[in-house]
A and B are shown apart, each in its own frame.
Chain A
């Protein structure tokens, strides 16, 4: 029987997925179900003078129309959110962005509900609004929230210190060494400002929730969520109920990418179903998804001092995160991306200020990378400028400053078990960096670039798992990990199978259902294989121990000589003495009866950072380390960039499933490729002008890099399951900068704002040539 860890097993649900037989909440229909359609604010910032739903209430087919006032009757304090409790289920006194839910119409026919939206009349008293993250942080900017409402759910966010009287709701900082002194001692000081736009997660399965009132049973929420346990806790808090009266379950998710994190439609669906006493489904259109959650737009100012021989002596980062109208998980983005914003480098003097800023735009949250793709764009783009101006090879410059195991990261936490050197070496070899590249002379230029990445695995978080063995010896895993398409069901089955010496195909991993699966913090931040993997290992150890204890007397052997092999307990060195799990269960419980239960949990350690300096001994459960290489051609007359090669190198610790790990990395790289090249939410006076996939352009097959390559590096993590570490985001982090650096190599000019649209690149070319494009 092959080892289960290390098998390139195809996803166990592949066949069911391609034949259309897997469950998605999107397809769920319940008897008596109503459809909810949301009336959304048309203005970015206003006092609600009047919300008149009388005509909609009497429209044909309409069962009920619910406003913020109605919600108050069952949820007196209806503000939700993972970091702050700042988002009302439906707008109350104010609306804070164009697209904010103001009312919901319930009807058995979704088209009747949609039609009735036209009959709702809202009178707005418009207020001054603010959209830009830097302007919003200034004193005197219009305030999006008059009062801050910090939450209390996550340990890593408890210390965030909200600021009142400002749109800056989190002000996170790192202080290490003395940057001012080091700038004075530097040979050269470089200062640049970078921008990234808001972008959309755009999963193809919409954000969707179906809620059932439950009657005497629990309130039941079927939701395409990445965080079922969190949703349960949050609904219980809102309702003032114990958690055991709320049941949250998921099925497969048709993509999430962060867009389905924490709580999205669940509170509105819960309020609707409780008021209507009928099942209610809310399913967003693609356009609605765009105003529900975005990836933060950002402005990043980076100042770096270097010695004559290219050592980075000091780096100062100032980051403004455009959080939109509600904090969502922005505070964690502010902190997590904040403390790695100086990059995977060994720098003695670091100063970081990272500000979460409210604006009158749709809320921003985490989107594959928790802000690191934004800060990476800044430090890796500036890195190439520094190298060029010092006359150094960009890779040599990086190697010279590389953060190595045993050295402190900017947060003070010592790097360990991380392949920073290995990924750098691998990317150099894959890119044949030592060989020269002909950049060309005509209107097509070639260039290549590399970028390195570091991201901290979120901590402290918890996963709990239960593993059972049925009377027939078959194994079931009860895990709260959501399979969003990343293949977690397969990998968790492999980990359980490895622990019980079964084949992964024989193990069943059930979808999260808080009535059955124990707590898990969520399928976010590349944490599931590591955390849930460890919890499952703990659970399979318990089952395994019970099996061996049961088998010892039956086989007349010493427990110490027994081991599991292919569905049986065997006595080592005595080939014929073995008993199958099924027979063993029968000896204990009777034929085909009974259950063995094992449980395990894992909570990562954490050292709360000092609030003034951000210093901590233990700020990351593992480090995600990656390197990207890109080779491009640029049409110098149009500015159009074609990526010829995109090489993604990642330290995965141990590839429990090399096939899935590779597709996660290439998938992540291509997701970020879109954000690097074309994707950008464009707002005019707070109104999104390119919502939906017709206007907001995701790359098509014809736009993709000609060659997408993945290289795995395996530097085992001392605590990881079989040495594995998280890698679901590693592939996204450095893609933009690697492509930008390749463009820089091709043209000799830098673009500091994403995405690299032809116009932006052409403008840079023309400005560089002293012939700026005249408007």
Chain B
């Protein structure tokens, strides 16, 4: 499970200091409020933060509620590069129900159906999901494999962070203190892309993943092209497996190729044990589910342009 990590990013205030809750009306004020207090924290949907506070892993002195920023940080649209632009305050439920997302990122929608439960998805925001840094989440490996970028605004200005640079480790992200995620840009996937996400839960169906596998590729004649494969939940952060992608790219799909890719994947990472299984079991599950994910992607519909 995922809530036991203590974030090293910010100091805890002295015990007994009462909590201050503010909802700024502009992004600038929000950043200022965060920058002026070491132990302040932004609050998206609160589904992760409230649990961390309840368990005593975090004791912020100030919560900066973001919901009044919805006009800047919300919404789903297409930017001038034809990328899907997803506001950081968009709830997971809004993403799940969006036609636009369904059209250009059907794999994301498929995964969203099984993120936690509908009550969590109604509250949880995309920004909170990414900033949380919990390796046991479903969307990061998909977004990583799709080549997404996150936009952040902080006291020192704004920047784009490619998703493969966002997660630094267990509950650690590249976000500076007082830096806020504002949106996510999802590049157009090449015509003909097939993709899938495989979530394996070990204990109950409605659970954080014990392993997540996201796969995308195209088929160029009878060969695989543009292969992107990312794993999550077995390691301290979601990761693309470049070695596995390389051994699949340009090859003819076959049972033995997928088997070999699965073997390579399972030895490419050092899985960490958790409530979902031991290291040995997770390694075995990588072997099984990478193979199954590749097979499943072969059966997935190809994306049409538009």
Contacts and interface: CB of A to CB of B under 8 A. Distances in A.
A386 to B, nearest CB: 30
Contact of A694 (B1, B202, B279, B281): B1
B284 interface: yes
Given A118-B15, A119-B16, A694-B51, A638 B200 contact: yes
B278 A697 contact: no
Interface string B106-148: 0000000000000000000000000000000000000000000
Interface range on chain B (Cβ under 8 Å from partner): 20 to 34
A759 B288 CA distance: 13
A757 B203 contact: yes
Interface string A656-675: 00000000000000000000
A698 B204 contact: yes
B280 A775 contact: yes
B288 to A, nearest CB: 5
A773 B281 contact: yes
A59 B16 contact: yes
B285 interface: yes
A115 B16 contact: yes
A216 interface: no
Interface stretch (A264-272, A389-397, A450-458, A699-707): A699-707
Contacts of B11: none
B205 interface: yes
Interface range on chain A (Cβ under 8 Å from partner): 20 to 34
Interface string A744-766: 00000000000001110011000
Contacts of A690: 1, 275
A441 interface: no
B204 A699 contact: yes
B280 A773 contact: yes
B278 A638 contact: no
Nearest to B205: A702
A700 B204 contact: yes
Interface string B273-298: 00101111100110010000000000
A115 B18 CA distance: 9
A480 B103 CA distance: 61
A762 B288 CA distance: 12
A634 to B, nearest CB: 14
A759 B277 contact: yes
Given A638-B288, A759-B278, A773-B281, A694 B3 contact: yes
A700 B206 contact: yes
Interface in B199-221: 200, 202-207
Contacts of B281: 758-759, 762-763, 773
A700 B118 CA distance: 13
Contacts of A118: 15-16
A191 interface: no
A695 interface: yes
A678 interface: yes
A578 B278 CA distance: 76
A774 B280 CA distance: 6
A703 B205 CA distance: 6
B204 A759 contact: no
A690 B204 CA distance: 14
Interface string A631-656: 00000011010000000000000000
Interface string B165-187: 00000000000000000000000
B1 A695 contact: yes
Interface string B19-32: 00000000000000
Nearest to A704: B205
Contacts of A694: 1, 3, 51
Contacts of A682: 275
Contact of B204 (A115, A678, A763): A678
Interface string B28-72: 000000000000000000000001000000000000000000000
Contacts of B284: 762, 773
Pick the most buried of A115, A698, A699, A759: most chain B CB atoms within 10 A of its CB.
A759
B16 A757 contact: no
Contacts of A116: 16
Nearest to B51: A694
B39 to A, nearest CB: 15
A758 B211 CA distance: 13
A759 B203 CA distance: 10
Interface in A671-685: 678, 682
Contacts of B288: 637-638
A678 B203 contact: yes
A122 to B, nearest CB: 15
Contact of B202 (A695, A698, A759, A774): A759
Contacts of B3: 694-695
A157 to B, nearest CB: 37
A464 to B, nearest CB: 43
Contact of A775 (B206, B207, B279): B279
Nearest to A674: B204
A697 B16 contact: no
Contacts of A697: 203-204, 207
Nearest to B282: A759
A703 B284 CA distance: 22
A629 B111 CA distance: 35
Contacts of A638: 200, 285, 288
Contacts of B1: 690, 694-695
Contacts of B15: 115, 118-119
Contacts of A757: 202-203
Contacts of B206: 700, 702-703
Instruction: List the 3 closest A-B pairs by CB distance, nearest first.
Output: A702-B205, A697-B204, A697-B203
Given A690-B1, A703-B205, 15 more contacts: A115-B15, A637-B288, A678-B203, A694-B51, A695-B1, A697-B203, A698-B204, A699-B204, A757-B203, A758-B277, A759-B202, A759-B281, A762-B284, A775-B278, A775-B280
17 contacts: A116-B16, A637-B288, A638-B288, A682-B275, A690-B1, A690-B275, A694-B3, A700-B204, A702-B204, A703-B206, A757-B203, A762-B281, A762-B284, A773-B280, A773-B284, A774-B280, A775-B280
